[in-house]
Structure 1
Amino acid sequence: MASRWLFEDGIGERRAALVDGGSIVEAMVERDDDGPVVGSILPARLHQVLQPGRRAIAILDGGVEALLEPVPARITEGMAFVAEVVREALPEAGALKRARVRMAPDDAALGPGPDLFARLSSSPHPVQPTRHHDSDLLEAAGWGEVLDAARTGDLDFDGGRLRISPTPAMTLIDVDGDGDLAALAIAGAAASAAAIRRLGIGGSIGIDLPTAGRKDARLAAAEAIDRLLPQPFERTAVNGFGFVQIVRPRARASLIERVREDPAVSAALALLRRAERTPGAGPLHLTATPGVLGRIRERGWSGLLARRVGAEVVLHPDPGRPIWVGDVHRQPL
């Protein structure tokens, strides 16, 4: 079957996966509480110049702070202007990296940028919307495994394992395994490229491959990256210690950053997704740690779930559970 996007409009978030040969090659989510997306044209005010001509803090419509880069000479602190979002806000450990904007063209019309479905619709691949009462095509393609990889950073491949660690400076991928080092380096480079694409990792990325030593193995590892990772990106050669650096555009958060930004929210959304697809009669019972159920209650998601499935939703807090271990129960038909 030809590549296609599966799109799901879920409670609290929209999900999408590019499926090729029955497996997910790209995965994305868009949440209800996301800030302004790339391409949004918004009223703004210059709040504080940090580096004249280069960087300033702007206040967007709604009070959101963003970085203005570059700073046109004709605007000064306190002046109003129209901003275009070129990078969305990015979650980082303990902080939120501000969105980046530039001054919009004079003829730009105010309005939000394209949402996830609009971006998918402009891609070369067809889009297939799915609903909660349809067959779970996303899960059949490996959605759960992709979320697990984003949550843990661990990803197995034939002969080895990747460990993915995001840091404020760059995302690091460590390749480990047994057997012939040259073969492991080539396989690890291919698995790393596939993971970068699947999880939407951008910015600076460092891959630590086994030290293969031989030049032909290093070249083959680099060629595997070039073959599997779509442009645009830049990379270094694989050096004698097995390290290669890749730089990709970073317009929005990766799936890893999304899942880890607020683990309780991510666990709640995953539980709600399962709950929507649980058949049966009578009330729908959700059991999870109080933090997860608190997110569901605070955001009104239990009411949305009840309307979607046409049944009462009952929440059962269990303080002894790990955050990602939740249960859904309903009387069988």
Structure 2
Amino acid sequence: MPEWIRERGIGETRLALVDGHDIVEARVLLDDVIPAGRLIDARLMRSGRNGLARDAAGNEYLLPAGAGRIAEGAAVTIVVTRSAIPGAEPWKRPLAKVATGADTDIASRDVRDGRLPASWNDLIEEARSGIVRFDGGELRLSPTPAMTLIDVDGTRTAEDLSMDGARAAAQAIRRLDIGGSIGIDLPTTGSKSARQAAAVAIDEALPQPFERTAVNGFGFVQIVRPRKRASLLELAQDRAAFEARDLLRRTSSEAPGARRLVAHPVVVELLERHPDWLASLARLLGGEIGLRADAKLPMSGGYAEPF
């Protein structure tokens, strides 16, 4: 029976729907990003469609549906519907709506605190590389400001690759927490039945809610899903922070004792800006944590050595 597991890390909280040793669905919640589902006390700065609210810390939230009859300047409780999305458009505000009841996200589900399976490392590599392999083919995933594009390629017949690639793409969308507008480029096939089979494969592998187009004659299908937070692909675009948090996760599972983290200079520089992360790791391991930069290492090649 699949179950949700929550792993509280340094700088982030990781959640995964695990079936045996396989991760079916995953998400990463950053400590410094207010998550979807959070209730916020704010003040209405602009009413009408695409209203604007601001909390006590100065964070601004766009209200696409407006705030009804609430007057500008009034106190209002809002619920975050999409957290801030890092990446190419950092100016975009998080989205919210006026709260009318108990709006919750993952917190409303049964979640067990624990350690995620080893397959989490494979998931991180998929997010890092944008490459997902399946039997007879592979997906190449490219996040853009407009949509996430998924290209399907392989060595099988166009008909078989279309159906299996569609299923693999749908599974990757769920596993990597991809929301918003998504385009899947399947192999072109002249068979209408093959295109219909690919569409059915998506419907079977991807749970609702979502909308999709039919697979057109060029093999392209578009999917639109709710987007509540950055996908793992988008988080991986911020390479230094992504690799720093992954290094901290891997090191936190090692035997107790002092450690020196050895990493690419950009990763070390980011860790130096987060002494709280290093202090958390020191408490977990019960020893001092040092840093050493090595320009010969790739961004993902960080490791811990005895200190």
Counterpart code for 2:293: P
Counterpart code for 1:279: A
2:253 matches 1:277: yes
C-alpha separation in 1, matches of 2:224 and 2:99: 26
Counterpart code for 2:56: D
Tell whether the 8 Å contact from 2:51 to 2:67 is kept in structure 1 after alignment: no
Shift of 1:19: 1.5
Shift of 1:235: 0.9
C-alpha separation in 2, matches of 1:17 and 1:184: 28
Tell whether the 8 Å contact from 1:44 to 1:81 is kept in structure 2 after alignment: yes
Tell whether the 8 Å contact from 2:27 to 2:176 is kept in structure 1 after alignment: yes
Counterpart code for 2:246: A
Tell whether the 8 Å contact from 1:6 to 1:138 is kept in structure 2 after alignment: no
Cα distance 1:82–1:217, how it changes in 2: closer, same or farther (>3 A)? same
Aligned match of 2:57: 62
Tell whether the 8 Å contact from 1:268 to 1:292 is kept in structure 2 after alignment: yes
Aligned match of 1:179: 156
Is the partner of 2:41 in helix, strand or coil? strand
- Which of 119, 138, 154 aligns to 2:117? It is 138
In the alignment, structure 2 segments of 5+ residues that lack a partner are none
Shift of 1:43: 2.5
Deviations 1:254-292 (A, max 9, x none): 1212232x2211111111111112237x53121002221
Q: Over the residues paired in the alignment, what is the CA RMSD in angstroms?
A: 2.1
Q: Which runs of 4+ in 1 moved over 6 A?
A: none
Shift of 1:301: 1.5
Seq. identity, %: 50
Is the partner of 1:256 in helix, strand or coil? helix
Counterpart code for 2:268: L
Tell whether the 8 Å contact from 1:69 to 1:102 is kept in structure 2 after alignment: yes
Tell whether the 8 Å contact from 1:279 to 1:330 is kept in structure 2 after alignment: no
Aligned match of 1:329: 305
2:297 matches 1:298: no
Equivalent runs, 1:165-176 vs 2, <5 Å: 165-176=142-153
Deviations 1:291-332 (A, max 9, x none): 21232232222221111111222211113322111121238x
Counterpart code for 1:266: F
Is the partner of 1:253 in helix, strand or coil? coil
Aligned match of 2:26: 27
C-alpha separation in 2, matches of 1:119 and 1:322: 39
Tell whether the 8 Å contact from 2:9 to 2:249 is kept in structure 1 after alignment: yes
Cα distance 1:276–1:41, how it changes in 2: closer, same or farther (>3 A)? closer
Aligned match of 2:79: 84
C-alpha separation in 2, matches of 1:272 and 1:72: 42
Shift of 1:160: 1.0
Aligned match of 1:98: 93
C-alpha separation in 1, matches of 2:6 and 2:37: 21
2:113 matches 1:129: yes
Aligned match of 2:235: 258
Is the partner of 2:117 in helix, strand or coil? helix
Aligned match of 2:261: 286
Q: TM-score, normalised by structure 1?
A: 0.85
Shift of 1:98: 1.2
Cα distance 1:327–1:73, how it changes in 2: closer, same or farther (>3 A)? closer
Shift of 1:104: 2.5
C-alpha separation in 2, matches of 1:119 and 1:265: 29
Counterpart code for 1:4: E
Cα distance 1:41–1:187, how it changes in 2: closer, same or farther (>3 A)? same
C-alpha separation in 2, matches of 1:263 and 1:243: 30
C-alpha separation in 2, matches of 1:283 and 1:83: 44
Q: TM-score, normalised by structure 2?
A: 0.92
Cα distance 1:15–1:72, how it changes in 2: closer, same or farther (>3 A)? closer
- Paired residues in the alignment total 306
Aligned match of 1:47: 45
Deviations 1:197-236 (A, max 9, x none): 1011111111100002101111111110011100111111
